Homo-oligomer: A and B are copies of this chain.
Amino acid sequence: MVKSVQPLSSHANEQRQAELAALIADKTMPTGALGALIPIAMQLGLIQTGNSLSASPVSFWIFAADHGLADEGVSAYPKAVTVQMVMNFLMGGAAINVFARQHGLLLKVVNAGVASPLPEAFSNHPDLINHPLAQGTSSSLKGMAMSLEQARQAVATGFQLVVHNTAPIVGFGEMGIGNSSAAALLTACLCDADLNECIGRGTGVDDDGLSRKKAILLNVMSRHHNDQIANPTATAIERSVFQLASLGGFEIAMMAGAFLGAAASRKLALVDGFIATSAALVACAMAPATRDYLLFTHQSAEPGHALALKHLQASGLLNMGLRLGEGSGAALAVPLVQSAAAFFNEMASFSSAGVSNKNSSTGSA
């Protein structure tokens, strides 16, 4: 599944790139005046092959799972909140539901491994996809968070969910009390960064909570440091699977597979905040060309996120101090992505509109 990801920056795409750039340059606006919308139109144009860009529908999955680490006291919220929020998603009351309704996103909730069983009333909900790997991960403070087989299975499940979908754009969210800890561990590992710089307040631990979170995560890392996490003789995929199994979460592993599936099926994938970016780091480690299919929708308030974005040579489209997760930032960015497609598809050209272009020989008129 990793071999099926084709890079967009290859020589084969040079002609397409030149064609797209010429079409954009002829739109009735000063060169580059639409700023960050222009590279989005270029990216969509390189992913797709048609004369006009397709930016709807947008399919969206929220991956939910629990974390053994949550029992060690790394979060401001009790573990029970994960299943409660899954019910909130299915009842339509969470922020992501509001934004999904506003923008017409096709939203599904994936139980990737929530600890508590969902009440009977929800178990056949049409928007619920049940693929639990277990009832939450084990604590990475005490051993592997999951087995290698579970990590592989989670990645494969995420891949399959997305690769068979027909939307041109896909987005992912997550829910899992404790998952900013798993994301910090994975980010430190995959960016070869100082773990302390990757740890933030998550859903909002206070100063004492942050000190405890840091102490616990440093212990987790020292426990796993000497095993195969950084094994240079392993393949990139074996190493990534081992990192996910040691430190990850089911929802993160599944989302990593989902990013791979998006790239393999030539879809633009919207990357939300810190947790989603940690999954994107894993996907890019497994298949570097995945990077070409990712759009980083916002810069989160979590400190580790800036570090991960830098590692991926990316910057967030929005910078609004969001730190909610659920894919809320990715959902908020959807209209901007659709604006990029719309200006490309619908704006008049200088010649068609009878508008004088800049006289470049004098520079100023």
A residues adjacent to B (C-beta < 8 A): 27-37, 73-78, 80-81, 84-85, 87-88, 91, 93-95, 97-99, 101-103, 203-206, 208-209, 212-213, 301, 317-324, 328, 332, 335-336, 338-339, 342-343, 346-348, 352-359, 363-365
**The one of B84, B209, B364 that contacts A76, using a Cβ cutoff of 8 Å:** B364
**The one of B36, B321, B335, B359 that contacts A35, using a Cβ cutoff of 8 Å:** B321
Q: Residues of B contacting A359 with CB < 8 Å?
A: 76-78
Also in contact, A320 and B364, with CB within 8 A (given A28-B88, A353-B93): no
Across the two chains, which residue of chain B brings its CB closest to A36? B320
Across the two chains, which residue of chain B brings its CB closest to A207? B363
Question: Are B336's CB and A332's CB within 8 A?
Answer: yes
Across the two chains, which residue of chain B brings its CB closest to A301? B35
What would 15 A/B residue contacts be, using CB atoms closer than 8 Å? A29-B95, A30-B76, A32-B321, A34-B95, A34-B322, A36-B321, A76-B365, A84-B356, A88-B348, A94-B347, A99-B342, A102-B342, A203-B358, A204-B358, A208-B363
Q: How far is the CA of A364 from the CA of B205 in the complex (A)?
A: 6
Q: How far is the CA of A363 from the CA of B97 in the complex (A)?
A: 28
Q: Which 5 A-B pairs have the closest CB atoms?
A: A93-B348, A209-B364, A35-B321, A33-B324, A206-B363
